[in-house]
Structure 1
Amino acid sequence: MSNVLFTSKATAKGGRDGHVKSDDGLIDLNLVDPSSEGTGSNPEQLFAAGYSACYDGALNLLASRQKKEIDSSITAEVSLLKDEADGGFKIGVVLNVEIKGVSQEEAEELAKQAHDFCPYSKATRGNVDVELKVRAA
């Protein structure tokens, strides 16, 4: 890897019914299977939080470069899916993109540009089905 800007670290123990903690302690969560009655997070929820934040950052950066003043909100829905190809599992993502300050057409174009630019979108491209649902508010 070249040109590393920063590195984040988190350690998980116990898989889906375990614990995850970042090296700085800001993330310190019990993990539970969503079908159980325990209290905690799950990998899909953590991925949704990271993806929505990263995508919103990319969207706002691109809008500012185009001198567009927007107010945006991204809700990522990350689903655990059965993978028919190998009998295992995979994830799918719906990004619900709400943008104030532009037309529907401009919102859709900005959303597409952000999807091309966002590091999470780049990382999932070709591996994860990602659907954009865009609404100008």
Structure 2
Amino acid sequence: MFALGRIASLAATSSTRRAPAAIRSLSTLHPTLYTSTTTSTGSRAQGHVSTPEKNLDLTMGMPKELGGSKGPAGGESNPEQLFGAAYSTCFLSALGATHGSLFPQHKPLPKSTTVRALVSIGKDKTEKLPGFLLAVELEVPKKPLQQVGLEEAEIHKLVQQAHQLCPYSRAVQGNIEVVVRVVDA
């Protein structure tokens, strides 16, 4: 799952992978449109994360799989869940924006449109990189997209272009393996 450098065709496999970028360039915001502030205290295992507005106020804990005593059902959150929530929400927004520009003749995407993020943490398969690595799978169910009149090829084009537009996809490009799948569910 953590092998880097493989690319699969979206049309052929209903998924796309991004290979590490050969050359990366730094992008600069101008103007900055919004900045969020989040403060973490404690640690990954026994921490707390919040925003000044208190609309995000979470106890952090280590998943059982990583040596923690509680799982997600224990009421604690972890960085992988937060990253998945942020990435899937951003990707869903990119889907809507891309849909509006690619297919203005169709109705807007329905509220039932979803993106499911599976964020994994593990070690480097080659054992060349120390520490932990992340990998992400994004699943986009096609049924809501078909409800607005999109054909199979249009759905794949939409998802592929949303992946290119999404700020999170751009941020992780070349750093972690990301697989985007159109799924039947």
Normalised by the shorter chain, which TM-score bucket? over 0.9
What CA distance in whole angstroms lies between the structure 2 residues aligned with 1:47 and 1:109?
25
Tell me the CA shift for residue 136 of structure 1. 5.8
**Do structure 1's residue 80 and structure 2's residue 116 form an aligned pair?**
no
What CA distance in whole angstroms lies between the structure 2 residues aligned with 1:125 and 1:112?
14
Larger radius of gyration: 2
Q: Which residue of 2 aligns with 1:126?
A: 174
Q: 1:13 aligns with which of 41, 44, 50?
A: 41
Tell me the CA shift for residue 128 of structure 1. 1.1
What CA distance in whole angstroms lies between the structure 2 residues aligned with 1:90 and 1:110?
28
Greater CA drift, 125-134 or 96-105: 96-105
Tell me the CA shift for residue 13 of structure 1. 1.1
Tell me the CA shift for residue 123 of structure 1. 0.3
Which structure is higher in strand share?
Answer: 1
Report how many residues are paired.
137
What CA distance in whole angstroms lies between the structure 2 residues aligned with 1:87 and 1:125?
20
| 3-state SS of paired residue (1:16) | coil
Q: Which residue of 2 aligns with 1:116?
A: 164
| 3-state SS of paired residue (2:121) | strand
> Is the CA contact (8 Å cut-off) linking 1:107 and 1:135 kept in structure 2?
no
Instruction: After TM superposition, list the pairs within 5 Å mapping 1:37-76 onto structure 2.
Output: 37-38=69-70, 39=74, 40-65=76-101, 66-67=103-104, 68-69=106-107, 70-71=109-110, 72-76=113-117
> Residue type matched to 2:48 in 1?
H
Tell me the CA shift for residue 98 of structure 1. 1.4
Tell me the CA shift for residue 9 of structure 1. 0.8
4+ aligned runs moved over 6 Å, structure 1: none
Unaligned runs of 5+ in 2: 1-28
Listed one character per residue, the Cα deviations across residues 45-103 of structure 1 (whole Å, up to 9, x for unaligned) are: 00000000000000011101221333321000000021222231010000001132222
> Is the CA contact (8 Å cut-off) linking 1:104 and 1:136 kept in structure 2?
no
Tell me the CA shift for residue 105 of structure 1. 1.6
> Residue type matched to 1:116 in 2?
Q
TM-score (norm 2): 0.70
Unaligned runs of 5+ in 1: none
Over the matched positions of the two proteins, sequence identity in percent amounts to 37
| 3-state SS of paired residue (1:80) | strand
